[in-house]
Amino acid sequence: MPTWFKTALVAIVAAIVVGSVWAQVRSSRRSAGYQPARTADGKPDLSGVWQALNTANFDIQSHPARPALALIPAAPRTGVAGLVRATPTDIPAPAVRALGAVGAVPAGEGVVDGDEVPYQPWAAAKKKENVEHWLERDPEIKCFMPGVPRATYMPYPFQILQGTDTILIAYEFAGTTRTIHMNKVGNSPSPSWMGLSRGRWEGDTLVVDVTDFNDETWFDRAGNFHSDALHIVERYTAVSPYHLMYEVTVEDPKVFTRPWKMRMPLYRRTEKDKRILEYKCVEFVEEAMYGHLGVVDPATGHTNK
Amino acid sequence: MRYGSVAILLTLAVVAGAAVFAVASAARNSTAAPASDTHSTTPVARTAWGDPDFQGVWRYEAVIALERPARFGGREFLTDAEIAQIQQTEKDQEANRLAGVEGEAVGRQSIAASPIRGNEYNSFWQDHGRPRKVYKQTSLITDPRDGRIPYTPDAQKADARAAARYGVGPYESYLDPDTGERCLTDGVTGMMWQGPNGGHNQIVQSPGYVTILHEEYRDRRIIPVDGRPHSNIRQWFGDSVGHWQGDTLVVDTTNFVDKTNYEWASIWTRPSETLHLLERFKRTDADTLEYTITVEDPTTFVKPWTAVIPISKVPDGTQIYEYACHEGNYAMPNLLSGARANAASKTAGR
C-alpha cells in the first residue's frame, strides 16, 4: 500500500470520526440529548394523549393541604372560664361541607418560577377577594372554557394532533379545542376564552404565542387571574418518549409588575388506544346555574323552587 | 334562540314546505354531481403519510331539502329549466346582498312570512355569503326513494311536537329548551352540513386520525383510522372508528348514549342506544366532498335511510372561530325568567 494512500485513508477516517462526534455534540446541545421521533415532514412528533400530574389546577403556587376550597371561620367556642379549648379553625363552607375528604385540597409544590406571582397591588387584593368568592367566580365550576395555560394542567387528558399546517390540542374538559396556526394568520375578530394561537418551531421545541384573550378565565382554583392584555408564550419540548417539558411565560402589564414563568412535565397516557372522551359538562352545571329559577307548575302557573 | 337555530333551514324545509331550493344527484348512493359541472379527474391529494387529504374548512353551500318537498310529486331530479331558474335566483340574491338589501330579496323570510315565531331573529345569522351551488337532487335523502325520513309512528308524533314547541316553549324548566338552545349540541347526524350560524367544519388529519371541528357548539370528533376496535363507553357522539376504502373514508359509529328524553330541534339528529351511523367521505373534486350518511335506529325509524350531501371547500386560509355558546347563554336565564313572569301574570288574572 503506497504511503500516500495510507495517509489519505487515515485523514478520511479521522475526518469522519471528528465530524460525527461534532454532529452528536451539536444535536445533544440542541435537544438535551433526546432525539424525538419525527413526523413525515421532519418535525418533532409531539402527537399523543398527555396529562399533567400535579396540583397546579388547585393552586399554581406552593400550598399546604386544607379542608376545602371554600372555607368559613368556625364559630368561636364558649367554654367554662379558665379552661383551654381547641382553637377554632376555618371549616368547609356549607355548600361544600358534605363532600368531606373528596372536597379537600391536596398539598402541592408550586409550578411558578420563584413561587411568586408578581401582582400589582390592586390585583393582589382582587386575587385575595377571588379566593373568598371562589364558589361564585371560578369559571371551571360553570363548565366555561378554561383558558390557557389552565387547560393544560387541569386533571383531564388532552391530545396533540399534528396536521399539515395546523396542530390541534384537543382537551377533554368541556370539549375545548385549540387550533395552533403554523402558517400566518390574522388577528382574532374578538377576544376569546382560549385565545389565538400562533405556533413555530425553535429547534425541536414547539413555541406557541397566544394572544386575543378575554379577561374571563383564571389560572387555577386559587383565584389567580389576568386581564384581556394577557400574552402567553408556551414551549413544548419532548424530553423522552413519555414526557414533554412544558414552559409558559405569562405577560400582562395590566395585572402583573413583570413577566413570570411556570414549568412542569407532561406525561404521556400510555394506555392502549387511549381516547379523549366526551366531557360535555354543560348539562352537569345547569341545575347549579339555572336551578334557582325553579320549575313552573303548568297546572297552577306557580313556580316551585 | 340564536344558538338553537342551527337546524332552522331544515326545519323550514320540512315543516313549512317552503324550501325553494333543490337539486341533484344520480341514483341512490351515487355521486352528488353539481348540475352545471362534470367531475374532475384530478387525482386525490394526499397527506405526507399517504392518506387522501381532506384537510381544510368545509361548508355545505347547497340548499337541498333533507326531505323531498311535496311539490316535486316524488320526482328525484330537477328539470333544466328549474336549475336555470334557481341559478338565476342565486345570482340575483348575491347581487342584492352585495348591494346591502335585506329580507326576501336576499332569500330571507320576512317577519310576516316566517312560519316559526322567532325566526326573524334567526334569519340574521343565515347569510350564505356567496351564491349557493345548484345540484340536481330534489332531496338530500336518496333512500328511501320517496326522499322522506321513515319515522316510526311515535317518532312522527315527537317530530310534530318538536316543530310545534320551537320558539314557543313551554319553558317550565331549563330542560325544556332544545339541546341547541342549551348549548349542548344539535347532534352528530347533521353536524357536517347543518348550521346557518356558520356551519363551518375544519378537517385536520394526522397519522392515524381524522379530526373534525364543527364550529357550532365547538363540537369535535377525533376519529381514529388506525384499525382499533370500538370502545364500550356510551357518548353523545357515540364511538367512531374509521378506515380508508380506496380514497373514501368510511366511519362507523355506535355506542351512543340515550338522549331521546331531551328536546331536539330536529329529532332525526337525536342519539339513542340503538343508533348506528355509517358515514362515507369522498372527495369528488378539489372543492367538493361527497358526504353520505346511512342512519339506522329502530327507536326512531322503521328502516335505515341514506342521504348524499355535497359539501364545499371554502377558500384556503378561512378560519373557524371560537363558539362560546354556553359561556354567553344569556338567553337561558332570560327565557326562564320571562316564562315565569308570564306564568305568574296568568295566575294573577284568574
Q: Where are the alpha helices (DSSP H) in chain B?
A: 8-11, 80-98, 119-122, 153-165, 331-348
Q: What pLDDT score was predicted for residue A211?
A: 97
C-alpha angle A105-A107-A111 in degrees, rounded to nearest 5 = 110
Measured in degrees and rounded to the nearest 5, phi and psi for residue B265 equal -60, -40
Residue B43 has pLDDT above 80, yes or no: no
Which segments within A221-276 are labelled E, that is strand?
A: 231-240, 243-251, 260-268
- Cβ neighbours of residue B16 under 8 Å, at least 6 residues apart? B115, B116
CA distance A64 to B92: 69
- Cβ neighbours of residue B179 under 8 Å, at least 6 residues apart? B185, B186, B187, B259, B262, B263, B264, B265, B270
Is-contact B222 B241, C-beta < 8 A?
no
Q: Is the peptide bond before B144 cis (omega within 30 degrees of 0)?
A: yes
CA distance B65 to B72: 11
**Residue in A closest to B53 by C-alpha:** A164
Q: What is the DSSP string of B64-111?
A: --SSPPGGGTT--B--HHHHHHHHHHHHHHHHHHHTT--GGGGTPPPT
Per-residue pLDDT of chain A (305 residues; tens, 9 = 90+): 556 666 666 666 555 555 555 555 444 444 458 999 999 999 999 999 999 999 999 999 999 999 999 999 988 877 777 777 777 789 999 999 999 999 999 999 999 999 999 999 999 999 999 999 999 999 999 999 999 999 999 999 999 999 989 999 999 999 999 999 999 998 888 999 999 999 999 999 999 999 999 999 999 999 999 999 999 999 999 999 999 999 999 999 999 999 999 999 999 999 999 999 999 999 999 999 999 999 998 888 888 88
Mutate which: B46, B214, B239, B327, vs A, most A CBs within 10 A: B327
Q: pTM for the full model?
A: 0.87
DSSP letter assigned to residue A165: S
CA distance A32 to A238: 10
What is the complex's ipTM, to 2 decimals? 0.87
CA distance A109 to B75: 70
Any CB–CB contact under 8 A between A264 and chain B?
no
Cβ-based neighbour number of residue A64 at 10 Å? 9
Contact B48 A164 (CB under 8 A): yes
Greatest CA span in chain B, whole angstroms?
72
Instruction: Specify the DSSP element, H or E, that contains A202.
Output: strand A196-202
Residue count (chain B): 350
Q: How many CB pairs under 8 A join A and B?
A: 135
Q: How far is B250 from chain A (nearest CA, A)?
A: 19
Q: Which three cell numbers stand for residue A272?
A: 392502549
Q: Please, what's the b/e burial string for B195-228 (b: 16 or more CB within 10 A of its CB; e: otherwise)?
A: bbbbbbbbbbbbbbbbbbbbbbbbbbbbbbbeee
CA distance B258 to A6: 80
For chain A, what is the total number of helices (H) and then of strands (E)?
A: 5, 13
CA distance B339 to B181: 15
DSSP letter assigned to residue B59: E
* Out of A19-33, B56-70, B125-139, B224-238, least confident range: A19-33
What is the per-residue pLDDT across B225-255, written as a single tens digit (0 to 9) for each? 999 999 999 999 999 999 999 999 999 999 9
Q: Among all chains, which residue has been given the C-alpha cell 388532552? A: A158
Within 120-179 of A, beta carbons closer than 8 Å to B belong to: 142-145, 159, 161-166, 168, 170, 175-177, 179
- Cβ neighbours of residue A12 under 8 Å, at least 6 residues apart? none
What 3-state DSSP class applies to A282? helix
Which residue in the set A145, A170, A278 is minimally distant from B237, CB to CB? A278
Contact B48 A301 (CB under 8 A): no
Nearest by Cα to B162 from B17, B263, B19, B16: B263
